[in-house]
Copies of this chain bind each other. A is one copy, B any other.
């Protein structure tokens, strides 16, 4: 077997084990009985150790060197380019993985599987002290990982690299600061415009089964293939890929407000459309894998916000929602639209409107850098969070469940992940603007409940490329320019008539 085919086979073999581990994780969030948690941690730890060993075996290094010396030839130029991209990305993965000892990989997987339950309980009880030892342990393992991976200027960069290749804290900081500077002055006007309707007017009885059926109808309409995926219920919505042609979404339900489960569905279905748009024939190789979380999030936010909170979207779907939930007939479309676009500072990130959402991210980005550097001690986290939250939002934090315990990320060991959400927001606005300017008819199509042109554009410009291009390169190829926050700000202003 030539070294390229050997790498290909190993990559697909690892993907099979990783996909089995994905099912273990999905099940842990959806259906696993409570007492199974301890053994589940062992299962995930052992699977992580197995794939780490397979990915870092000496022969992989030999095959990589051989391919870098001379890539086995193909007559097809497209196939050659794909091979080059695969080898480049396998090298990246290999270099990163070989820096970690197997012991650390297994301990990290075991610890984060167990800490999830500890966090969920601490959050229910709003008791930070119950979670603090777990966070301490995860931070310690995370710092150890970062030291293994190495970095030029700050330790946090070693983590960020795992979620957003090439991104550096020093580059993000001024972008986020500028965004905050331009966003904050807009908020009072947005709050005023969208505050004209009493939010209690949307409250009603929205039975679970009806919500679920409507969510499924809409997700299918935007293009999600339920023959190759499904949707379940969890406390924390997510999207995960279990294997080729198997993409699982989850959402959560508020029986008094159907828009909560629907926006969760739109968001996760946006992720799912990216997953389903990857080349299934390349599953298990870099060319068949998403490129970064900032790009992934651009797709979820695009469908959740640019599409799912637009006037065009609701012009089509609101009559259908009124059919399903007749009480909505008393609420005119324009007022409903203002309510689903209501801007108001609030405590919970995942319930935040699309304007203030980024401020939640900026807070987390600041704080997790300090936790990783050691400038902020775990025990001081609640006080630091609450103080900074009040500065940014002008609200005091009533308890840790609505403060530093609200997100699952740190408990899952996902540190350095948060900034990709705001990158996603900026990416989504720039991509949507490019798509609309490329094909203005697409926007008219949306008002008719047709999404094929927009989805087709994303498939062509983003999905099908897998990890062929770096995230900044992908955005520049798709939109003709590097990422700029101005598209996001213009989108917000335009939406509320402030431009």
Q: Which residues of A approach B to under 8 Å, CB–CB? A: 13, 16-17, 19-21, 23-24, 27, 31-36, 38-40, 42-43, 46-47, 225-230, 232, 242-246, 283
Contacts and interface: CB of A to CB of B under 8 A. Distances in A.
A34 B227 contact: yes
Given A38-B244, A38-B245, A19 B33 contact: no
Contacts of A31: 31, 230, 232
Contacts of A229: 33
Contacts of A226: 33
Contacts of A242: 27, 36
Nearest to A16: B46
A38 B246 CA distance: 10
A267 to B, nearest CB: 20
B39 A243 contact: yes
Counted per complex, copies of this chain come to: 2
Contact of A35 (B17, B46, B227, B232): B227
A23 B13 contact: no
A228 B20 contact: no
Given A39-B243, A245-B39, A13 B228 contact: no
A17 B38 contact: no
A27 B229 CA distance: 13
Q: 5 tightest A-B contacts by CB?
A: A36-B246, A35-B245, A35-B228, A39-B244, A39-B243
A245 B41 CA distance: 13
A13 B16 CA distance: 18
Interface of A is mostly: helix
A362 B129 CA distance: 63
A285 to B, nearest CB: 14
A37 B198 CA distance: 49
A19 B20 CA distance: 11
B42 A16 contact: yes
Nearest to A242: B36
Given A20-B24, A23-B27, A245 B283 contact: no
Contacts of A40: 243, 246
Nearest to A230: B33
A30 to B, nearest CB: 8
Contacts of A42: 16
A282 to B, nearest CB: 13
Contacts of A230: 31, 33
Nearest to A247: B33
Contacts of A13: 46
- The residue in A21, A47, A227, A244 that gathers the most chain B C-beta atoms within 10 A of its C-beta is A244
Contacts of A47: 16, 20
A27 B19 CA distance: 13
A46 B32 CA distance: 24
A421 to B, nearest CB: 28
Contacts of A23: 20, 23-24, 27
Contact of A17 (B33, B46, B243): B46
A283 B40 CA distance: 13
Given A33-B245, A245-B36, A43 B20 contact: yes
Contacts of A27: 23, 27, 242
A242 B16 CA distance: 18
Contacts of A16: 42-43, 46-47
Contacts of A243: 36, 39-40, 43
Contacts of A43: 16, 19-20, 243
A232 B31 CA distance: 10
Nearest to A232: B31
